[in-house]
Amino acid sequence: MLTVVGVLLVAACLRPAITSVGPVLDRIGAAHGFGRGTEGLLAALPLLAFAGVSPLTHRLALRLGMDRTVLAALGLLIIGILLRSSGGSVLLWIGTLLIGVAIAINNVLVPAVVKRDFGGRIAAVTGAYTAIMNTFAAIASGIAVPLADVDRGRGPGHDGWRTSIGIWVVLTAIGLVFWVARMRTVDSVASQGIATVPVMSRSGSDHSVWRSPLAWQVTITMGLQSTVFYTMVNWLPSIEADAGVSPATAGLHLFLYQAIGILAALAASTLLGRVADQRLVASMINIPILIALAGMISFPQLLSVWAVLAGLTSGGSITVALALIGLRTRLAADTARLSGMAQGVGYLLAAGGPVAAGWLRQTTGSWTAVIMMLIVLTLLQGAAAYLAGRNRFVGEPVTG
């Protein structure tokens, strides 16, 4: 039981520190004198950390052991949240960077833990932890503005946004405690992590992963879905604000966008687990967000409807991307390598999304160009997911 609970709690900690920022990004920017471009860079900083740290995580886990590395990342996440919410501009940037590093490590290792501990139930467990991840991502964005308003209402000296982005240190501390308990109770061989399990060889696979077309298809799938997700999470409240929607309502819509993704994640995992070839599921999951993005341009008065539709793709596409990392590899070591590659390169792509969106909005004076960019990226992601969905394995010769 602790094995499952530990994984789910780590998953719960992977998004709130990021999704709590979007609804109060305007307030953070106003407090520090940031323009739209700088706000976009702040939103993109965790993704840049993902890109830089993810390819190195496998080697770190080889040295420390997979479970110990997850534990260290949870501790680093606690430090990052505290720094970001407690000081001036310098600590804001440092804390945000540490948050990105910590989440990057666990982003990479959770799929490898699932491959190691739940090898026969990859799709089901991936769906469960993705649903939990989406649940807490949605809660974080949904309560960000109300929390900020409550704290600011206490009087001078209370910066409401600090509370709404800092409160997630509590959840992370709970996750850390449960992970320690898990490490003490799991099988002694499994708990040693990838450094000591015989099938987790140190040799031979790093270069083959980077040379694999299939690995690149998985990587592009991860990168483009992440680009769309993080652009939406960080800028949807601002898109709605410019359309005359109140901050509280915009936060509610962002909550709906992520909350509906919970059901989509579970549905996608069920479908993925029933077929060996995931091409149809992986590509068709993008249809709802394409309709939603077109609707945002044509019928902006129905933003709540478009948020729900877009959320169907959001929850389903991240489940597909994460599941493909495990489904396209044979061994947990290769899963960790592919996860590092997919999330390293993928989040490097994703980091450009919020920055490009801020620049396009500042340059064109409207959000239409941003939405068109998201439509193009979604189409490309669907094509990559279709190719990655074939029943093949990284490092093995293609037959048939």
- Calpha distance 95→377 (Å, rounded): 30
- Calpha distance 274→15 (Å, rounded): 28
Query: Is residue 273 predicted with pLDDT exceeding 70?
Result: yes
- Calpha distance 365→387 (Å, rounded): 37
Show me where the domains of the chain are located: 2-388
Q: What is the pLDDT, as a whole number, of residue 180? A: 93
Backbone Cα Rg of the chain: 20
- Calpha distance 268→289 (Å, rounded): 15
CB distance 106 to 10 below 8 Å = yes
- CATH classification number, 2-388, choose in 1.20.1250.20, 3.40.630.30, 3.40.50.300, 3.40.50.720: 1.20.1250.20
When the pLDDT of each residue in the chain is averaged and rounded to a whole number, the result is 85
Lowest-confidence pick of 157-166, 290-299, 300-309, 347-356: 157-166
- Calpha distance 162→167 (Å, rounded): 8
212-238, pLDDT tens digit by residue?
A: 999 999 999 999 999 998 898 888 888
pTM of the complete model: 0.77
- Calpha distance 268→266 (Å, rounded): 5
Range picked from 92-106, 172-186, 204-218 for highest mean pLDDT = 92-106
Q: What is the pLDDT, as a whole number, of residue 315? A: 83
